[in-house]
Amino acid sequence: MRQVTTPEILTCMINMTPQDLQVMSFPGLHETLWDQREFLGWRDVHHNTKGYLVFWVGEELRGLMVKAAESQMPGGRSAICALCHTQQPAPQVSLFTAPKSGDEGARGNTVGTYLCADLACSTLIRITPAESAEIPDASDTIAHKSLGIRDRLENFSNRVLSVDAS
């Protein structure tokens, strides 16, 4: 991911009101390892159900506010994040909804998906198994997963924007 600044984040959010932008918290951008991310994802430290996803679609920077379900999935089961396709204990995956942009969002319409509860997909895809005959080069696996995350983020944001995928 290319580096971004706080002002760029503020102008790229496609589904937030001016009031939402005023109370939005930001991660420590100076601590971010940009070359090890497909997107910038973080949970709001002041609003425990809010999270944010910021990513590039070509040359366009796009950002989304997402809201986590207030309850966790029950333990003792597995769940899969729709972005990174990582299977993990169900409480570590949450249903997130994103308000749609424009008039549809103003009417309260949302789209939802299951995501890693901490929005740390970029870290999870870099945890690779030891190289073997089946997986001779872990960097190929990471590159494949990285491309998948970027494609799924674009598709999810298109649903927020009500862009027809056809």
List the chain pLDDT tens, one digit each, 166 residues.
999 999 999 999 999 999 999 999 999 999 999 999 999 999 999 999 999 999 999 999 999 999 999 988 888 999 999 999 999 999 999 999 999 999 999 999 999 999 999 999 999 999 887 777 777 788 888 999 999 999 999 999 999 999 875 5
Give residue 105's domain range.
6-161
Q: CA 72, CA 94: separation in Å to the nearest integer?
A: 7
* Token pair of 31 as six digits: 């601590």
Task: Please indicate, yes or no, if residue 87 is contained in any of the structural domains.
Answer: yes
Task: Please indicate, yes or no, if residue 125 is contained in any of the structural domains.
Answer: yes
Give the list of residues 6+ apart from residue 136 with CB closer than 8 angstroms, or none. none
Task: Please indicate, yes or no, if residue 1 is contained in any of the structural domains.
Answer: no
- Total domain count, the chain: 1
Task: Please indicate, yes or no, if residue 13 is contained in any of the structural domains.
Answer: yes
Task: Please indicate, yes or no, if residue 20 is contained in any of the structural domains.
Answer: yes
Q: Classify 68 as helix, strand or coil.
A: strand
**pLDDT recorded at residue 165:** 59
Task: Please indicate, yes or no, if residue 54 is contained in any of the structural domains.
Answer: yes
